[in-house]
A and B are shown apart, each in its own frame.
Chain A
């Protein structure tokens, strides 16, 4: 048929058929899972898809395709009628059939060379078991071979109607209309197909005599013909008299197609009954409804799948290259708009109304671009839907039990991204099923559900689409990864010793890495994860891996929504401009020249910016691009080469240098730094640029093959002023600059720990104390926070009771202690009129308790903050913290609470 039919119609048939097959795969899985409980709706959907494929195959004369789909249809009919339960064995055969149909569609013109005998035999066996002759139905549909009638499915009619075609019944006589016109039948059909679609045709041989008189007869060929042409033009195009062409009543056809509800059985129903009334001599409107044709509303659609609600008028199949062309034109329009705005900037007042015109152009351009981009968006579910089948097949071959759960299938991405995701996601899923999920027995032994689980989840986050693939398998063992990496010389032992677990686990993305010892049919060749990372980064996305040993692994792919038109920040360095996709930009940081020395540091020879207690590695864009850095000389106002190697120039200021000009340029405002903070996965880094311009919507142009290897760039674009600039790739920049985020994080952690330790030591050294004496020349100190009160007391107010002394304090007798009674120190000199009583602060359960006693001292010297390191002393007694020199005197530091406790006045623990 290839030489006759329009290739574009065949291509459309192939595309539709592929879509049918991918749409029914989840339904086939549901049939297998639910067995006899599966709903009729699910079976009907599968049935209609296979039947539709068969109809198309029959029309285009793809015989193998037709035979196989016909036989599958027979099996599905038995399932639908409840005569057969969809057991795994039966579903295996149907799945094999679907695979073979798909293989035939891959090269439709060679489809008849694809071997189908094995699949056919397996399916026929099912039919024969049910007492059905697999080939009987084809013949059964031809009630009278002499009057075969039209034989095509309702889908073909719908397809033609969807494309806006009218349907004609045409009669061409072999002799009068073909031979006498100087045409061969081939030429006649070629001509017909050039302006329409031949839905079906047959020669009515009911009246033919036999060999004796046959050549005197002019046999009529009946055509069911679809074309967008009006009846009069169709007549001209087919080179047939108008009275031999009858336009069928489209309203009636549509009505009947809709009225012919599928339930309970959308059996393989040719449209023949619909058109049977259209007799050759007097074609008429269809008189009988098709018994089992599927309603239009339930026909699977490109966007909505089986559950779609589209009617023929709401969707239209459009070629991808046409959309791509429109997308490119929209891109050019955006560029044109940008250039127009740039050219007319500031001239609004010169031309009345120009501002409103520009605004209108701006709005329409944006909406047009958005609309066209929308047409290229596809739900990620188109890729996700293939994985349950893959996992199902793998589970069976690996003797594992694995469930697949899909979330966010409706999340949309540009078609090109969706297509490029197919390989990485397949690798990930295969790895999950093959390596990550354990065998049921192993899972049971560690207390897990014997059925493993893989969750595919797509969602929007931060202007990107995130795709998380999570399994509850064994996780990735960093030790094992490291062993393999060292064995494969992906990392040397010295480097290995310094690596964090996170870095080690990320070695799985290294080219050639694999932890499995044997290469299986499924995976284990060590190419998968490398492909995952490479493909994702090619799309402007990135991959992150989180794993917990024994619990599972999550791979997170973050991707841009589209690759075509993206908002970007335009930055400048050394008179060159670059675009940075806004999705990578976290924030801008302006570091004043005067702050550079305090905010920018050097760690392992690399510059880092201290930003909100985090260390942010810095990359100088000029260095990455290989430019000679310059600076504006404040004295000469000219740009001169910048010879400073370090951003954080900590050389001594040149104030005393006689050669110093005007002032140190390190403090000049022209030496301020503009830093664009970029995000790559969970890591961030800063790019030092000279200038920040504006955010523009840029049209991404592919890079020339000569510079495709430059990982710093992801593409090129044209700015409003017509200049071509490169688009920076954040991940590529980080890679080029050899940033080691993990090192920095570890360093920062170590630094923070060290600072905490030093702060703790400093806190122990620095204290507020009260200095006092008991005996002359013997100095003591107690921490202020351990003192409740200091009371001056006349010696006469101290009362003695046996060996003990008391004073009245708040209406009660307060026992008093003398230091010399507790420690080996001198007593308070006699003859003093007044002494002081130090009442310690005793807390119980965080509450200040009643003081059990007071400490008698002779005088208070000072209350001050000291920064001292206490040293041990040889003075005996409890409550001595140590000694230190304070105000050039040796001072004994005391813990009054401990003294109270040792004296027995405190009782229990304070």
Chain B
């Protein structure tokens, strides 16, 4: 995942771009990037899925791990840019009950 440069967003908010699909072959790399992004102090984290078309089981696990970390650090977490198909999966798994998800 790629943290956006300061100035593009609110100073208290970091945007974490998925940088493509969140699948088994990419999740480890994305996980490290996300951890690095969260080293910056913030009150809000936004996961941007604008470029993700596929999220597999590990991808969902990663998103939930990110949410859990934010929750532990009292950082508000939300997801943006989910494709309609992804949105339906998230809804079926009741993820919107955990954190806000905005459809693309």
Contact = CB atoms under 8 A, between A and B. Distances in A.
Of listed A142, A146, A179, A189, residue having the most chain B CB within 10 A: A179
Nearest to A174: B57
A210 B65 contact: yes
Main secondary structure of the interface of A (DSSP, over half): loop
Of listed A142, A185, A189, A219, residue having the most chain B CB within 10 A: A185
A174 B85 contact: no
A710 interface: no
Nearest to B91: A61
Given A175-B58, A214-B31, A219-B61, A201 B92 contact: yes
B94 A148 contact: yes
B89 A215 contact: no
Nearest to A138: B97
A210 B38 CA distance: 12
A723 interface: no
B85 to A, nearest CB: 6
A145 interface: yes
Interface in A1-39: 1, 3-4
A373 B56 CA distance: 51
B82 interface: no
B69 A174 contact: no
Interface string A132-166: 00000000001001101001000000000000000
A817 B50 CA distance: 131
Contact of A215 (B27, B54, B92, B95): B27
Contacts of B34: 211
A212 B69 CA distance: 9
B104 interface: no
Interface in A741-776: none
A453 B57 CA distance: 64
B74 interface: no
Interface string A195-228: 0001011110100111111110101010000000
A186 interface: yes
Contacts of B55: 185
A184 interface: yes
Interface in B42-80: 54-58, 60-62, 64-69, 72
A113 to B, nearest CB: 12
Contact of B92 (A174, A198, A212): A198
Given A179-B24, A211-B38, A215-B65, A202 B56 contact: no
Contact of A205 (B62, B87, B98): B98
A240 interface: no
Of listed B54, B69, B85, residue having the most chain A CB within 10 A: B69
A718 interface: no
A148 B67 CA distance: 15
Contacts of B85: 3, 186
B93 A215 contact: no
B62 to A, nearest CB: 6
Contacts of B54: 184
A229 interface: no
A178 interface: yes
A184 B57 contact: yes
Interface residues of A, number: 34
A185 B60 CA distance: 9
B56 A184 contact: yes
B40 interface: no
Given A174-B61, A215-B31, A217-B61, A3 B88 contact: yes
Contacts of A189: 89, 92
A214 B85 CA distance: 24
A146 B56 CA distance: 21
A212 B28 CA distance: 10
Contacts of B58: 174-175, 179, 215
B31 A211 contact: yes
Contacts of B31: 211, 214-215
B64 A214 contact: yes
Contacts of B95: 203
A185 B89 contact: yes
A404 B3 CA distance: 65
Of listed B35, B89, B94, B98, residue having the most chain A CB within 10 A: B94
A4 B88 contact: yes
Contact of B93 (A1, A185, A209, A210): A185
Contacts of A174: 57-58, 60-61
A209 B68 contact: yes
A178 B60 CA distance: 12
A198 B56 CA distance: 19
A215 B28 contact: yes
Interface string A110-131: 0000000000000000000000
B88 A1 contact: yes
A203 B94 CA distance: 7
B57 A175 contact: yes
Contact of B56 (A142, A145, A185): A185
A843 B69 CA distance: 122
Contacts of A61: 87-88, 91-92
A176 to B, nearest CB: 9
A352 to B, nearest CB: 66
Nearest to B24: A179
A200 B94 contact: yes
Nearest to A178: B57
A205 B68 CA distance: 8
A219 B88 contact: no
Given A1-B88, A185-B93, A145 B68 contact: no
Contacts of B92: 1, 4, 61, 189, 198, 201
A1 B65 contact: no
Interface in B14-39: 24, 27-28, 31, 34-35, 38
Contacts of A184: 54, 56-57
A324 B57 CA distance: 45
Nearest to B35: A211
Contacts of B61: 174-175, 208, 214-215, 217, 219
A211 B94 contact: no
A189 B27 CA distance: 22
A4 B85 CA distance: 9
A758 B31 CA distance: 113
A148 B57 contact: no
Contacts of A219: 60-61, 64
A252 B94 CA distance: 26
A145 B87 CA distance: 19
A179 B56 contact: yes
Contacts of A185: 55-57, 60, 89, 93
A221 B68 CA distance: 16
B65 A221 contact: no
Nearest to B88: A1
A210 B56 CA distance: 18
A3 B66 CA distance: 28
A205 B67 CA distance: 10
A186 B58 CA distance: 13
Contacts of A178: 57
A478 to B, nearest CB: 62
Contacts of A202: 93-94, 97
A214 B71 CA distance: 14
A210 B97 contact: no
B68 A212 contact: no
Contacts of B98: 145-146, 148, 205
A140 to B, nearest CB: 12
Give 5 nearest A-B pairs by CB, closest first: A214-B65, A174-B57, A202-B94, A179-B57, A61-B91
Given A148-B94, A185-B89, A214-B64, 14 more contacts: A4-B88, A148-B98, A174-B60, A174-B61, A179-B57, A198-B92, A201-B92, A208-B61, A208-B68, A211-B69, A212-B35, A215-B31, A217-B61, A219-B61
20 contacts: A4-B92, A61-B87, A174-B60, A174-B61, A185-B89, A185-B93, A186-B88, A198-B92, A201-B92, A202-B97, A203-B93, A205-B64, A205-B68, A205-B98, A208-B61, A212-B69, A214-B31, A214-B65, A215-B31, A215-B58
